[in-house]
Amino acid sequence: MRPEKQFLVDEINSHLDKSDYVFVADYERATVPDIASLRGQLAAEEAEFHVIKNNILKVAAKGRGFPELDDHLTGQNAIVIGGKNPSGVAKVLTKFFAKEEKIEVKVGVLSNQRLGSDEVVALSKLPSIEALRAQLLGLLSQPGQQLVFVINAVPQNVLNVLQAKVDAEGGN
């Protein structure tokens, strides 16, 4: 491979090293302000939008053992990578693409699993990592709370009976 092509492959690999996912988007109908707006929204998720050459991405993807992407690498494409929340990035992408109708997600790769555009939309509907952690913590703490209520119920019932007896005797 020629040195200049190897440089481009290395550059793509350095971008792919930033996350365990990549989304490939067609940006052919997008304007420069559209892409600038998208980049700003992605920055909030610590993600990046990079225009790439299809052949260079094919070589880099093959070298990383990605699933077959060749049928999606036609036209003008860009990759979206970075950040620790793939569902948040997918949410930004699908919301932006629905609003602008100029850019579309063609395919994604998440932990070396290929995602079609409909699966990227499904990923965007998942709660954020923080919300999932809060739900898990709630599920883990719920049995402990119920156990405390059960253990506390017996002494509470004894106190209620004693209080009723005191009230029945006239408060003496």
* CATH code (residue 82): 3.30.70.1730
Instruction: Give 65-89 pLDDT, tens digit per residue.
Output: 888 887 788 888 888 888 788 888 8
Q: How confident is the model at residue 40 (pLDDT cuts 50, 70, 90)?
A: very high
pTM over 0.85: no
Based on C-alpha coordinates, what's the Rg of the chain? 27
Q: Let me know whether 62 and 89 are in one domain.
A: yes
Q: Let me know whether 77 and 151 are in one domain.
A: no
Q: How confident is the model at residue 18 (pLDDT cuts 50, 70, 90)?
A: confident
Q: Let me know whether 15 and 74 are in one domain.
A: yes
Pairing of strands 77-82, 113-116: unpaired
Query: What does 115-166 look like in DSSP terms, one character per residue?
Result: EEHHHHHHHHTSPPHHHHHHHHHHHHHHHHHHHHHHHHHHHHHHHHHHHHHH
Mean pLDDT of 40-65: 87
Amino acid at the residue 13: N
Q: Let me know whether 166 and 100 are in one domain.
A: no
Q: What is the DSSP letter of 20?
A: S
Q: How many domains does the chain have?
A: 2
Q: Let me know whether 122 and 60 are in one domain.
A: yes
Q: How confident is the model at residue 57 (pLDDT cuts 50, 70, 90)?
A: confident
162: domain range?
127-172
Q: Let me know whether 68 and 142 are in one domain.
A: no
Q: Let me know whether 40 and 88 are in one domain.
A: yes
Q: Let me know whether 101 and 86 are in one domain.
A: yes
Reduced DSSP (H G I as helix, E B as strand, rest coil) percent helix, strand, coil of the chain, to 5: 60, 15, 25
Q: Let me know whether 22 and 65 are in one domain.
A: yes
Q: Let me know whether 26 and 66 are in one domain.
A: yes
pLDDT higher than threshold 60 for residue 172? no
Per-residue CA distances from 130 to 19, 48, 84, 123, 139 (Å): 18, 21, 11, 15, 14
pLDDT higher than threshold 80 for residue 48? yes
Distance between CA 43 and CA 95 in Å, rounded? 15
Distance between CA 171 and CA 18 in Å, rounded? 73
